[in-house]
Amino acid sequence: MKSVGVLGWELPPFFAGGLGIHTLNLFSILGKILDITLYIPKFTDKDIHYNFKVKMVNYDPVGSPYERNKEFYQKVMDYNEILINEFDKDHDIIHMHDWITVPAGIKLKEKYRKKLVFTVHSTEYDRSGWFYPQERILKIEKEGMMAADRIIAVSHYTKKIISEKFSINPAKVTVIHNGVKSSLFSSFNKNYDLKNKVLYFGRVTPQKGSKFFIEAAYKVNKYIPSAEFIVAGEGDQLNEIKNFSKSLGLENTVNFYGFVSESESVRLYLDSDVFILPAVSEPFGMTVIESLSVGTPAIISKTTGVGEALNNVLKADFWDTDKIANYIIAVLKYRKLRETLGNFGKLEASRFSWENTALKTLEVYNSL
């Protein structure tokens, strides 16, 4: 049995970001057929059972990989140092995830002469919204891509960034889309009576384009003053967005729900007419698949990776809030449009599964 050492950062139920969800779902499946050991910072003293081995590195993370400050960078470097010492040299493959595990990955490859796989969930360009990306992080990402024997990108959109912005041979990059936990989202029967609710669900950051959501809300409000716009999520930009919304006189139109758990999110999707993701640069966009799985139509930016595999969503440039507003109004006004986008979208979303993701990841391992 092949042995894979996975260098991770977060794992539900703790720090359940996109990276954590990916790690849990993918390796729960691969853990059944491969000898998987996941290395993560020690986030608990409790003994939690997973379908794969978990080795907690004695290091308190305190922070999310999405934070963009100096302290966080230093913490990543510290974690990577410790990781190298605790790594078991008997693994056949080292699998790193995003820049936060790259320094250790590269050193371990040199030290033990093992094959190195690098999954790129997002690049510094995405996280910065293409606005002053941090050079030192770009450098780490580039080094990781150079050192890796194979790179996995979560979309063709991301593969393009890897080859064009980092000058990496695209032949080395395999695109593997994320899956969705279908049982959680798809077991509901959505009804398409008008709820008059428009949903934004995700971190409130420049990357996700929350500002454009507010702009669209302002434009829709002129035509449908009764429509409620929900911002569910937290992030660096939350206060700025709240102020922006207030400055446009949308106090009674836009409501901020704060942090929302996974189970609450299902309810939110169900109770909304349409989900909006106007991301400036979104490598995949798992929430789009979640929303569609529930049967809620989605309006997404053209710079959202998952859009490349979807016909039954509405796509606009993230900055084109006139067009986004036209789409929102149409979905709210025209019931047949809601129904058709919802029903066909649900069908299309059902094609995404973690089993597929696992199978394709296995092919990458086997090709080494």
- CA–CA distance, 148 with 205 (Å, rounded to integer): 30
SS3 50: coil
Is 255 near another protein (CB under 8 A)?
A: no
Residue 10 near residue 59, CB atoms below 8 Å: no
**Of positions 82, 270, 330, 362, contacts another protein by CB under 8 A:** 330
Q: Rounded to an integer, what is the distance from CA 94 to the centroid of its chain? A: 22
Interface with another protein (CB under 8 A), residue from 339, 350, 360, 365: 339
* Interaction pattern, residues 342-361, with another protein; x per rule: CB under 8 A: --x-----------------
What is the Cα 125 distance to its own chain's centre? 14
Q: Which residues contact 191 (CB under 8 A, 6 or more apart)?
A: none
Among 28, 134, 182, 312, binds another protein (CB under 8 A): 312
Q: What is the dihedral of CA 289, 290, 296, 297, to 10 degrees?
A: -20
Q: Give the residue carrying structure tokens 């569910």.
A: 232
Q: Is 225 in the site for another protein (CB under 8 A)?
A: no
Binder among 337, 356, 360, 365 for another protein (CB under 8 A): 337
Which among 1-9, 144-152, 165-173, 307-315 is the span making contact with another protein, rule CB under 8 A?
307-315
- Identify which of residues 81 and 322 has a Cβ nearer to another protein in the complex: 322
* 317 touches another protein (CB under 8 A): no
Interaction between residue 314 and another protein (CB under 8 A): yes
Interacting stretch for another protein, rule CB under 8 A, among 23-31, 78-86, 133-141, 306-314?
306-314
Burial 14-51 (b: 16+ CB within 10 A, else e): ebebbbbbbbbbbbebbbeebbbbbbbbebeeeeeeee
* Nearest CB to another protein, comparing residues 2 and 323: 323
Q: Within a 10 A sphere around the Cβ of 120, how many other Cβ atoms?
A: 27
Nearer Cβ to another protein (73/327): 327
User: Total binding residues for another protein by CB under 8 A?
Assistant: 21
Single out the residue of 82, 84, 147, 329 in contact with another protein (rule: CB under 8 A).
329
Least Å distance, CB 8 to another protein, is: 38
Q: How many CB atoms lie within 10 A of CB 132?
A: 9
Distance CA 331, CA 83 (A): 49
Which residues of the shown chain bind another protein in the complex (CB under 8 A)? Answer: 219, 223, 311-312, 314-315, 322-323, 325-327, 329-330, 333-334, 336-337, 339-341, 344
